Amino acid sequence: MTTRIFNIILSLIALLVFSIPFCLVWLLVKLTSPGPAIHWSKRIGRDNQIFLMPKFRTMRIDTPQVATHLLTNGHNYLTPIGSFLRKSSLDELPQLWSVLKGDMNLVGPRPALFNQDDLKELRTKLGVHKIAPGVTGWAQINGRDELPIPEKVKYDKFYLDHRSLGFDLKIIFLTAPIMGASIQSPVCFLITAPRAKPARDSPSGILHILHTFVAEVAGFLRQRHRRNALDSLTASLAHQYQAPVSYVGPRRQHCRFP
């Protein structure tokens, strides 16, 4: 009961915090590729029961329903922003609905695809299938999809044997820096934008405008942060040397000492 209340409260908070990114990602998915923004995937839940899990669509609608690592040239099936969404884990945001519904927990083993029989068999053998899958998990912060399946199941088993509210909080706090490091900066996403300037009234034109706007805002915030940092530095030097220290312009600076 405590875990259920914990999941509901944190999921509602997360939905409020990520409401704007949620809407932006939904819009970008719709603008960059044909098909629905949300993909409902058949997944294996608690006690090996099948449920439908929502994700922001990162692959074309004609992609075979198999694990990504089993696809031949899987990168060819990615949408223009699919790689970014996967690396930043923003494609997982709709799964908060599954947490509220009770199909998933915030923390637990990542839900296997309905046809991942090898993963299902290993988890069942170790009793991992008895707990609900999670949006993030111990295996997620220790390698994600780079882990071979037997090693991933070992992390799942470790979580099963040591799970607690404190351990769940630790995993959630460790997940945030990984997402931040993956996103890095909005400018990283702009590298994939087309160099040719598209028509304003086309979907790619709208996307180009959004890219430009985000880059301008990011540049302004970085410049403002840099200026504030320099102001603090010069004030500190002035206090240390008991002398006036001045900062001039964003590119030129000079200090006056006695």
Tell me the per-residue pLDDT of 76-99, one tens digit each, with 9 for 90 and over.
Answer: 888 999 888 888 888 999 999 999
Q: Is 233 within 8 Å of 243 (Cβ atoms)?
A: no
Pairing state of beta strands 105-107 and 134-136? parallel
For the chain, the structural domain boundaries read 2-184, 203-255
Q: What is the pLDDT of residue 70?
A: 63
Cα separation values, 96 from 7, 123, 165, Å: 9, 23, 18
What is the pLDDT confidence band of residue 185, given thresholds at 50, 70 and 90?
very low
CB atoms within 10 A of CB 237: 15
What is the pLDDT confidence band of residue 200, given thresholds at 50, 70 and 90?
very low
Q: What is the pLDDT of residue 87?
A: 83
Strand partners, 136: 107
pTM of the model: 0.66
In the chain the first and final C-alpha atoms are separated, in Å, by 69
**According to the per-residue pLDDT averaged within each range, which of 39-43, 184-188, 216-220 is highest?**
39-43
Indicate the angle between helix axes 149-162 and 165-183, nearest 10 degrees.
140
What is the pLDDT confidence band of residue 152, given thresholds at 50, 70 and 90?
very high
Q: 69 CB contacts (<8 Å, ≥6 apart)?
A: 145
- Of the chain, the percentage scoring pLDDT greater than 70 comes to 64
Q: What is the pLDDT of residue 88?
A: 83
CB atoms within 10 A of CB 190: 14
Structure tokens at 76: 């060819």
Range 56-69 average pLDDT: 79
